[in-house]
Amino acid sequence: MDDNNEIPEINQPTFETVPVETSPKIEETPEEVVNPESLQPPPSDLPPPVYQENKNQYFLIIGGAIVFFIFLILVIRAIFSGGGGKKEISLTYWGLWEDKEIVQPLIEQYQQKNPNVKINYQKMSPQSYREKLVVRSKNNQGPDLFRFHNTWVPEIKEVLAPMPSSIMNNAEFEKTFYKVHQKDLKVGNYYYGLPLEIDGLVLIYNESLFKKAGVSIVPSTWDEITDIVPRLTVKDTQGNLITSGIAMGTTANIEHFSDIFGLLLVQNGGSLDKLDQAEAAGALEIYRKFSEAPQGYWTDEMPNSINAFIQEKVAMTIVPSWQALTIKAANPEITIKIVPVPVVPGASMVSIASYWVEGVSRFSKNQIEAWKFLRYLTEKENMTKLYEIQSRLRPYGEPYSRVDLASLLAQNQYLGAVIKQADNFVSLPLISRTYDNGLNDEIIKYLENAINSTAQGVSYSEALKTAKQGVTQVFTKYNISY
């Protein structure tokens, strides 16, 4: 309704003066002579006059009763079948990674409590997902709520709706979730998503290979890594690798190489916007030395790092915790341990975050209802139920995003390391396997070129100066400032 609409002026009808016609003159007639007998009362033995009822009156009463009865039935049906008169709301939910059978029990549980809300979950393919999300949302063909990566906010902000304080205010958000969630999802005074998980880099090692090499320590620093890698590495008489101590140093055959470089960059005091400084060059040197001569603890001839670990050709790899699922699915007999990533001796723990978030489209016509459902998913009992469902179908579920659920996973053999690092995660837009074809993938390409150029003799500092120019262009493109 337009508040500025004026009440149109009502034109009063114009009445014409009609001349009054002169009534015709009534002719007087002589008075009739009244017979005195006609004035006598009727005989008392005559029956009283009969009262003639109006049948139309019954029709009106019966018709009115029928109309009222029909109206009453319609009102009762509206109350009981329509949830007090609420209209039915349909929500489309785009998910990633999780099959419908995992999410559907919670959807059905929510719909039982909210019968006027219908939620259609669709598991999407990660390829070109981000582009589809943006384009279809702008054309009013996108979802009402959807999953997105924690690094995507700058590149999908045009489709993200801010969370209303009526759903969850800032103080409650900050009390419920981790610091990295707060930093990643807040723009201005608003949060733009609700996380159902937290995850990031961990160190996975092959316990059997450790025992075979006589290594009993659990590495927690880079000095310890440097010390045990030679003991874990096995070469033939020609110097060819049989077993590698750790998957580091190259790009083409190392999953999450950019994440690992980001870890070293942060731990060495560097940042993505300062790749031309000494801290960044030092991080690249640490990364590359594991594959450079004369050590050669990892080479381009090795298989893909995840496949190499599955085949027990490498003793250690640094990956997000979910990669343990890939490893165990391919080799159920492998004995692995998962611990926090190594740190610089004497420095505080820090790791790189990589997790997924649920958001609401600003193009949705039912934003409040979408936010209500997401809020429902983040409640304690529902988050634990989701984890239980996930754990029935695989070794473990997604690590809880709620701080008050941390104790439930602190001793978990797969996720304990994630929880130990949860307060010390930081985010960088160089995460592998987000398939964003944008911010992350563009930066990763510049880093890949820089690392590969050092294998051709380019110095660490020069390689990263060139990379910085490209990264700066990407930051400008997505309006990112550090």
Name the β-bridge partners of 221: 343
The predicted model gives 213-218 an average pLDDT of 96
CB 349 within 8 A of CB 340: yes
For range 234-258, the mean pLDDT: 97
pLDDT of residue 481: 85
What mean pLDDT comes out for the span 409-424?
98
The pLDDT tens digits of the residues spanning 427-439 come to: 999 999 999 999 9
Q: Do domains 89-199+354-415 and 201-352+438-477 have the same CATH topology?
A: yes
Element (H, E) at 225: helix 222-232
Residue entry with tokens 């997902």:
129
Parallel, antiparallel or unpaired: strands 425-426 and 351-352: parallel
Give the CA distances from residue 467 to residues 91, 242, 344, 460, in Å, rounded to whole numbers and listed in that order: 43, 33, 25, 11
Do 264 and 440 contact (CB within 8 A), yes or no? no
Please state the pTM of the whole predicted model: 0.82
Lowest-confidence pick of 40-49, 129-138, 246-255, 287-296: 40-49
pLDDT score for 27: 40
Confidence of residue 66 (pLDDT cuts 50, 70, 90): low
Q: Which of the listed CATH numbers 3.40.190.10, 1.10.10.10, 3.20.20.70, 3.40.50.1820 matches domain 201-352+438-477? A: 3.40.190.10
CATH topology of domain 89-199+354-415: D-Maltodextrin-Binding Protein; domain 2 (3.40.190)
Q: What is the DSSP string of 197-240?
A: ---BEEEEEEHHHHHHTT------BHHHHHHHHHHH-EE-TTS-
User: Residue 19 pLDDT more than 60?
Assistant: no
With cut-offs at 50, 70 and 90, classify the pLDDT of residue 20.
very low
The proportion of the chain whose per-residue pLDDT surpasses 90, expressed as a percent, equals 81
pLDDT in tens, 255-294: 999 999 999 999 999 999 999 999 999 999 999 999 999 9
Q: What is the pLDDT of residues 314-362, one digit of tens each?
A: 999 999 999 999 999 999 999 999 999 999 999 999 999 999 999 999 9
Please give the Cα distance from 383 to 400 (Å, whole number).
Answer: 7
Q: For the chain, which residues make up each domain, given as ranges? A: 89-199+354-415, 201-352+438-477
Q: Which tens digits make up the pLDDT trace of 363-408?
A: 999 999 999 999 999 999 999 999 999 999 999 999 999 999 999 9
Number of H helices, E strands in the chain: 17, 14
* Three-state SS at 61: helix
Distance CA 75, CA 73 (A): 5
Residue 233, token pair as written in the block:
């590495």
